[in-house]
Amino acid sequence: MRQQAEQFGAKVIEQRITSIARKRDDFLLTSERGERKFRTVLMATGVINRRPPINDAVHQSAMDAGFLRYCPVCDAYEVKTQKIALLGAEGAGLAEALFLRRYSDCVTLLTLKESELQPVHQDALAKAGIEVVTSPVAAFDFSSGAAVTLMNGKTLRFDTLYPALGTDPNNDLALSLGLVVSGDRCLVADSHQRLGIKGLYAAGDILSSLDQISVAMGQAAIAATTMHNDMRDEDGETWKPV
Ligand SMILES: Cc1cc2nc3c(=O)[nH]c(=O)nc-3n(C[C@H](O)[C@H](O)[C@H](O)COP(=O)(O)OP(=O)(O)OC[C@H]3O[C@@H](n4cnc5c(N)ncnc54)[C@H](O)[C@@H]3O)c2cc1C
């Protein structure tokens, strides 16, 4: 995709942008290698999934083996009927456990700290046949499946574990421009991907929507077309009936 974009004149510059500022009709983007001005900007900075406390090498090998997973919407069908653990007995964990229950009879909700589940949530989980383990997880072992040792000393074994510890949106640049974020700290765009500041658009996980590649690409297609048309409009190139 990069090669194809470059073939048509796109320049790919790999630099972390540390600040963005409005400069008259342009945006001034700063990285450690200097500043550049752009007429339009598409924010596609994504989100970071919070990880359980395990080192990077163990994390990577557990992901590669499918013992650790982050996206039930993406791959729950791969773990159909397996023994699944959900880590994070709060809002996100509850929703994901109920989602996964359609794929497996054996879903268990684990927690990293004392569970803060309300009675109404406990009822919903009990009705769905989801076991809730209240003793927090003290250690992980992904050498063969997903095993956890609890604070109470017990060890539980699963085929796979989904952390549901929430995400941190990469929204610093947007916040610095004064954009308002939604409850999940993501950005909110209109149906043409505009963010409410002239020349600024967004696509992908940084927006409040389903975090999927197909969604991000669809939003990017809409954004690219809007950017093109808005610039034509500003330049007086849009045909208007007389
Ligand atoms: C483990 C896992 C498995 C997944 N599996 C699937 C799947 O099977 N199918 C599916 O559809 N989706 C899957 N997803 C979701 C999918 O990855 C996302 O929906 C998709 O990547 C969103 O694309 P994006 O461009 O919005 O964000 P990202 O892919 O996260 O890209 C954002 C980019 O912006 C960069 N960035 C952030 N801040 C700055 C800055 N200040 N300056 C410069 N660059 C910056 C980041 O480094 C990153 O490269 C999965 C996600 C995870 C975590």
| 122-135 residue pLDDT tens | 899 999 999 999 99
| Residue 240, in any domain of the structure | no
Indicate the top mutation candidate among 42, 74, 209 to test ligand 1's pocket, ranked by most ligand atoms within 8 A of CB. 74
Provide mean pLDDT across the span 235-239: 90
Q: Is 40 in the pocket of ligand 1 (CB under 6 A)?
A: no
Q: Is 187 in the pocket of ligand 1 (CB under 6 A)?
A: no
Q: Which atom of ligand 1 is nearest to the CA of 70?
A: 1
Model confidence over 55-81: pLDDT tens digits?
999 999 999 999 999 999 999 999 999
| Residue 80, in any domain of the structure | yes
> Cα 202 from chain centroid?
14
Q: Are 177 and 207 found together in one domain? A: yes
Indicate the top mutation candidate among 170, 172, 173 to test ligand 1's pocket, ranked by most ligand atoms within 8 A of CB. 170
CATH number, domain at 202? 3.50.50.60
| Residue 134, in any domain of the structure | yes
| Residue 115, in any domain of the structure | yes
What's the pLDDT at 184? Answer: 87
What is the count of structural domains for the chain? Answer: 2
Q: Is 90 in the pocket of ligand 1 (CB under 6 A)?
A: no
Confidence check: pLDDT of 161 > 80:
yes
Q: Are 210 and 116 found together in one domain? A: no
Model confidence over 167-184: pLDDT tens digits?
999 999 999 999 999 988
Model confidence over 183-220: pLDDT tens digits?
889 999 999 999 999 999 999 999 999 999 999 999 99
What's the pLDDT at 90? Answer: 74
* Domain stop point among 132, 147, 163: 163
Task: Give the length of the chain.
Answer: 242
Confidence check: pLDDT of 91 > 80:
no
Indicate the top mutation candidate among 175, 205, 206, 215 to test ligand 1's pocket, ranked by most ligand atoms within 8 A of CB. 205
Q: Do residues 123 and 99 touch, judged by C-beta distance below 8 A?
A: no
Closest CA to 70 of 48, 49, 89, 53: 49
What's the pLDDT at 208? Answer: 92
What's the pLDDT at 169? Answer: 97
Model confidence over 141-151: pLDDT tens digits?
999 999 999 99
Q: How far apart are CA 209 and CA 45, in angstroms?
A: 14
Q: Are 19 and 97 found together in one domain? A: no
Confidence check: pLDDT of 113 > 90:
no
Q: Are 44 and 113 found together in one domain? A: no
pTM, to two decimals: 0.93
Q: Quote the tokens at residue 147.
A: 């095993």
Range of the domain at 141: 51-163
Q: Is 17 in the pocket of ligand 1 (CB under 6 A)?
A: yes
Provide mean pLDDT across the span 232-239: 92
Q: Residue 200's CB: how many other CB atoms inside 10 A? A: 22
Instruction: Give the residue whose CA is nearest to atom 50 of ligand 1.
Output: 71
Provide mean pLDDT across the span 94-102: 95
- DSSP code of 50? P
pLDDT confidence bin for 119, thresholds 50/70/90 = confident
| Residue 239, in any domain of the structure | no
Model confidence over 6-54: pLDDT tens digits?
999 999 999 999 999 999 999 999 999 999 999 999 999 999 999 999 9
Instruction: Give the residue whose CA is nearest to atom 19 of ligand 1.
Output: 212
